[in-house]
Structure 1
C-alpha cells in the first residue's frame, strides 16, 4: 500500500511537470509537448521512483524535481517556478515578468516601504514568505535583489536608500530559507528608471525593488 502511494506521488509530479512543458504549435494551434520535456519526464519518473524507495513521498517529489530539471532543461525548470510564483503572488501587486530563462519580480514602493524608509512593511512580508518558499525549493538559481529610487533628492541619498532597501529584501529571503550564497544585493539609486521622473506617476514606478531569478550555468 505504501509503495503504491509513493509511486502515485511520482506520477503526480510527472503530471505537474508535463502541464508546464506543453507548447502551442503555431501552425495547428494544438498543444504539444517538446521532445526535451518528454526526456525530462522520463528522468523525473526514474529518479522519483528511486527517491520514493529511499526517502518516501517527500523524497520522490524532490528527486523528480531535481532530475526533471536536468532532463527537461532549464526552460522547464524555470517554467514551473514561474507558475508557482504567479499563483502565490496573484493579487499582491508584485509583478511577475519572464524574459527568456529569467524571472523578474517587481515590488513597488507603496507595498514594500514607507517613504524614505528601508524597513519592510508588514503586509509585504506575506508575499516575501511565498517567494522564499519557492526559491528555497528550487535551488539551481542565482538571485539578484536590486533597489531603485526616483530622482528626487541627492544622488548620494538615493544611492544609499536603494542599497538599504535591497539589503532588507535580500536579508528577509535569507532569513526564510534561501541560502545567502545565492543572493546578491545591489542599489542603483535613480540610475535605472522605468518611467519618466517628471510626473508623480512615473516617479512612483521608479521607486521599486526587483528580484531577478537566473538559472545557474
Structure 2
C-alpha cells in the first residue's frame, strides 16, 4: 500500500508540473486553466483511488469528475443545485453560456421603496449561499435595477443599496465578500416596458451573475 501511495503521489506531482505554464512576463510558473478544470486535473484525480479507500474515495472521485470534466460541467452542477433549491421561490435561474444569472424580483426580495431584505426571503438566500459557498471557484456580480419612476439619482442609490443588501447577507452565509462586486444600475437596463405597472414590477430587481474564475 505504501508503494502504491508513493507512486500515486509522484505521478500526481509530475502531472501537476506538466499542467503548469511559464508566465512570459514574470518568469513564474503558474497553473493553466486546463490544470484547474481540464485533462490535467482529471488525470491527477484519477489517482485518488490508489490513495483513499471506501466511501471517502468515492466522494473524492465524484468531486474530481466534476473538475476534470471542464468549466461547463462545473457550472452545470451549480445550475442543477440552484434550480432544485429555488424551485417555486420566484427567483429565475438563467443559463448564459458558462455563466449563470439569478433574477430576484424586487417585490419578493424587498419592502416597498426600501433596501431592507424581507425576512421571508432569508430562506431563499440561505439556499443560494449554501451553493455559492460550496462552489467557490466563481466570481459574483450583484446588480441592482429599478424602474424609471422617480429621479435618476434616487434610483441609482436605491439600486446599489439593494444589491449591497443581497451581497452582505450572502457574506453572512459563508460566501467570501471578496468574490462579490456590487453595482447599482438604476433604470438603465429595463427588461420590460416602464409604461405599464407589470413592466415596472419586472424592472425592479436584483440580478446575481455567477461567473467562472479566469485562469
Place the TM-score, normalised by the shorter chain, in its bin. 0.7 to 0.9
For residues 136 and 189 of structure 1, the distance between their equivalents in structure 2, rounded to whole angstroms, comes to 28
- In 1, the alpha carbon distance for the partners of 2:196 and 2:46 equals 56
Of 129, 132, 136 in structure 2, the residue corresponding to residue 139 of structure 1 is: 136
1:174 corresponds in structure 2 to 171
CA distance in 2, matches of 1:59, 1:135: 24
Cα pair 1:48 1:62 within 8 Å, conserved: yes
- What's the RMSD between the two structures over aligned residues? 2.6
Contact 1:40 1:70 in 2 (8 A): no
- 1:113-132 to structure 2, matched below 5 A, reads 113-132=110-129
Deviations 1:42-78 (A, max 9, x none): 659626536845xx8568636742x334311100000
User: Unaligned stretches of 5+ in structure 1?
Assistant: 1-36
After TM superposition, the runs of 4+ consecutive aligned structure 1 residues lying more than 4 A away are 39-45, 50-53, 56-60
Mapping 1:11-50, distance limit 5 Å:
43=43, 46=46, 48-49=48-49
**Cα shift at 1:123:** 1.3
Task: Indicate yes or no: 2:105 matched with 1:95.
Answer: no
User: 1:64, 1:206 → 2: CA distance?
Assistant: 40
Gaps of 5+ in 2: 1-36
Shift of 1:192: 0.6
Say whether residues 1:207 and 2:204 are aligned partners.
yes
Q: Which whole-Å deviations, capped at 9, do the CAs of 1:68-104 have from their partners, x for residues lacking one?
A: 3431110000001000000000000000000100000
Q: Does 1:75 align with 2:78?
A: no
TM-score (norm 1): 0.74
Number of positions where the alignment pairs a residue of Structure 1 with one of Structure 2 = 178
Instruction: Answer whether contact 2:147 2:186 (CA < 8 A) is retained.
Output: yes
